Structure 1
Amino acid sequence: MWRLVLLVILACASTAHAHRGSAKYVVVERTSEGASIDVELEVVDAAMELGLGEDAPASAVLARGDDLGALLARGITIGDGAVACTAGAGAPSEVEGEDGPPRLALTIDYACPEAAGDLVLRDDTIFPTDAQHEAFVRIRFAGDTDAHVLRAGRQDVALGEPPSTVSLLGRFLVEGVLHLVTGYDHLLFLLSLVLTAGGLALREGMRVALRDVAIVVTAFTLGHSVTLIAAALGVIVLPSRLVESVIAASIAVVALLNVWRPDERRSMPWLALGFGLVHGFGFSGVLAELGLPAQARVLSLLAFNVGIELAQLAFVAVMLSPLAWLAGKPGYRTWIVRGGSIAIALLALVWLVERATAP
């Protein structure tokens, strides 16, 4: 059993970069002729779509600007299901001064037949070659906005009326759940925090272990909620490279503490609180990409945070009972606690180097 658990830890750790797949940003506005969209995509994605290779510079992609515009105009369609709108793309340009990978921007205008019904945008670009690709779509109405994330297999969005508040809250709650579930580094940090709780359950009982874990999770919640809200509202903004690097370092620190002192639990709430402040900036990244709707800004932010908490509590609840059971088996401390923590720490250190040195 311990071998299976260790393999699960390693498999989860090895995919921790997966939720950092490429992203595209689409802003949609309805016009008298139909619609207009502003598209931003990463240079590497544009280069791959054009067959230039992932190392092609922005200058090489811009030299093929007409081809890129035509490709996006064909791949991002707007229509009513029966009739497609006619698309015309402008020239691409580099996006200056943005945090993260270099991006290109261009505008596509759509002329739709007068008889067209309810319009739907569909994005078929990049998804076939990058299953982790996400398209963050923001739809502007008069005084209102709507926000969606398109993922492989769910690549359509209706361009209808402004959404209801209930619809927005449900959508942001789900996005909060998905962000934690696909944020493997956040999950591994939580696992590192509770990995030694199985031994506590064996020594002092499940009730004591549950109380201990509840305190740790509450401390983590307090920490990341403060910075998530502050970052999402624009009060404090930190460079993503710094945030992601410190998140990786936080995993390594807690994992190495488990190796050094596997029975130490008193410091866990403080570590959870302190590093939770940094993880909150990581959680806020998806909100910055998605954009909080103007008509329900605070409520959408709270719904996103609640979604994170629900996923977090579910993860901890699922992990605690197996850890308590494993604590009574030979090799728990050696293979599960120390072995698992060493594996997590090594992967975290690799991520730290990758993130700190990323261009």
Structure 2
Amino acid sequence: MKRLLTLLPALLLLLLALRAGAHELRPAYLQIEQRTGQEFAVSWRVPARGDLRLSLNVRFDQGVTPLGPPVGRIANGYYTETWSILHESDLAGVSVTIDGLQNTMTDALAHIRWRDGREQLQRLLPDRPQFVVDRKASSGQIATTYLVLGIEHILLGLDHLLFVLALVLLVRSWKPLVATITAFTLAHSITLAAAVLGFVSVPQAPVEAVIALSIVFVASEILQRRRGRDSLAIRKPWLVAFGFGLLHGLGFAGALTEIGVPQHAIPLALALFNIGVEAGQLAFIAAVAAVFVLLQRLPPVQQWQLRTGQSVVTVASWPLAYLVGGLAAWWLLDRTLSMLI
């Protein structure tokens, strides 16, 4: 029974990691910006792995004239195409379709900016791969779009989720956990806002490497606690969560900065993206807690706990710490080498 309890959470986490890599879920991004009265610059970015990219393409209706072929390149996990188009009526009434989107599990965000300050924001889904350019984005549309983007970003960000899981395993009891997660939330909210508003600018590559390092550190502290040792992270986990939360906020900001926000609604988009991140984070913590509660209610597990006096969380903490720390150590090595090569 003890072997089952130690292996089951680790296997579940490994399956989660494999599943996350099995399908491409990162969003695509279309940006259209007016240069002159009739000319627009187009940038189309789709997820890529190595030299392969998702087969997604932008298609305008017949009223749009391209000015030369697109220029494409692959960098930082995305394939990006740029080109220019002409339209005699400010793109009003133009139909835009993302061909191939219906065959994926991802979505796409379209952001159009005019020289007079107007902006349109549209989120496209596999069952709705088309939209018509016709209006300025409403506050409700912006709020919904960035709330969903925030939820998606945290739930698809395996490194952020593993850091939260490591905090749960390190703290264990509810009151200190609430304080720790609150500190983490406050910290990454501060740096997220500072980066999006332009007060802080940090290259993403070292930030991603240090995020991996933060997971390795907390995983090692879980093992130190199991061995009965003491440290600052064990005594004051909220302080460590706050410090590393500042770095995780810069990671969130990198994703949001790449997507962009409507200039007329920066506070709204920023606030809803952050709320979405927190909603996804709380949902993940609730799911982790539910798994352990369900395990503890199984009759064989209850009998084993009465006989040994050990909880499921205590027994599962060390294999999960090794698995989480091992994955993070690999990311740290990979991200560090990527900066050096």
1:158 aligns with 2:132: yes
Aligned partner of 1:122 among 97, 111, 134: 97
Correspondence for 2:322: 342
Alpha-carbon distance, 1:196 to partner: 4.0
**Whole-angstrom distance in 1 between the partners of 2:286 and 2:217:** 23
CA change 1:127–1:113 in 2 (3 A) is same
Give the secondary-structure state (helix, strand or coil) at the position aligned to 1:195. Answer: helix
CA change 1:86–1:227 in 2 (3 A) is closer
**Whole-angstrom distance in 1 between the partners of 2:164 and 2:26:** 22
CA change 1:309–1:43 in 2 (3 A) is closer
Alpha-carbon distance, 1:340 to partner: 0.7
Alpha-carbon distance, 1:301 to partner: 0.6
5+ residue gaps in structure 1?
55-70, 199-208
What's the TM-score once normalised by structure 2's chain length? 0.77
**Whole-angstrom distance in 1 between the partners of 2:64 and 2:30:** 21
1:26 aligns with 2:2: no
Alpha-carbon distance, 1:32 to partner: 6.8
- Is the 1:76–1:125 Cα contact (8 Å) retained in structure 2? no
**Whole-angstrom distance in 1 between the partners of 2:100 and 2:49:** 9
The residue correspondences of 1:24-173 to structure 2 (distance < 5 A) are 24-29=29-34, 36-41=40-45, 48=52, 75-79=57-61, 84-92=62-70, 100=76, 105-109=81-85, 111=87, 118-124=93-99, 131=104, 135-141=108-114, 142-148=116-122, 150=124, 154-173=128-147
Give the secondary-structure state (helix, strand or coil) at the position aligned to 1:236. Answer: coil
- Is the 2:196–2:257 Cα contact (8 Å) retained in structure 1? yes
**Whole-angstrom distance in 1 between the partners of 2:336 and 2:24:** 18
Correspondence for 2:266: 297
1:261 aligns with 2:225: yes
Correspondence for 2:174: 210
CA change 1:212–1:285 in 2 (3 A) is same
Alpha-carbon distance, 1:165 to partner: 1.4
- Is the 1:19–1:184 Cα contact (8 Å) retained in structure 2? no
Q: How many residues align?
A: 317
Correspondence for 2:9: 5
Alpha-carbon distance, 1:308 to partner: 1.1
Instruction: Report the AA paired with residue 171 of structure 1.
Output: T
Instruction: Report the AA paired with residue 109 of structure 1.
Output: I
**Root-mean-square deviation (CA), in Å?**
3.8
Correspondence for 2:155: 181
Instruction: Report the AA paired with residue 284 of structure 1.
Output: A
Instruction: Report the AA paired with residue 240 of structure 2.
Output: L
- Is the 1:24–1:135 Cα contact (8 Å) retained in structure 2? yes
CA change 1:302–1:105 in 2 (3 A) is same
What's the TM-score once normalised by structure 1's chain length? 0.74
Give the secondary-structure state (helix, strand or coil) at the position aligned to 2:235. Answer: coil
Correspondence for 2:299: none
**Whole-angstrom distance in 1 between the partners of 2:185 and 2:146:** 18
Alpha-carbon distance, 1:147 to partner: 3.5
CA change 1:94–1:30 in 2 (3 A) is closer
Alpha-carbon distance, 1:109 to partner: 1.8
1:352 aligns with 2:321: no
Q: Deviations over 1:285-315 (max 9, x none)?
A: 2211221211111121111111111221222
Instruction: Report the AA paired with residue 250 of structure 2.
Output: F
- Is the 1:176–1:306 Cα contact (8 Å) retained in structure 2? yes
Alpha-carbon distance, 1:214 to partner: 0.7
1:285 aligns with 2:236: no
CA change 1:179–1:148 in 2 (3 A) is farther
The residue correspondences of 1:184-199 to structure 2 (distance < 5 A) are 184-198=158-172
- Is the 1:136–1:289 Cα contact (8 Å) retained in structure 2? no
CA change 1:185–1:174 in 2 (3 A) is same
Correspondence for 1:58: none
Alpha-carbon distance, 1:117 to partner: 8.3
Alpha-carbon distance, 1:15 to partner: 5.6
CA change 1:178–1:103 in 2 (3 A) is closer
Alpha-carbon distance, 1:16 to partner: 6.1
Correspondence for 1:221: 185
Give the secondary-structure state (helix, strand or coil) at the position aligned to 1:261. Answer: helix
Q: Deviations over 1:56-83 (max 9, x none)?
A: xxxxxxxxxxxxxxx99xx41123xxxx
- Is the 2:101–2:107 Cα contact (8 Å) retained in structure 1? no
**Whole-angstrom distance in 1 between the partners of 2:72 and 2:205:** 20
Instruction: Report the AA paired with residue 323 of structure 1.
Output: F
State which drifts further: 175-184 or 5-14. Answer: 5-14
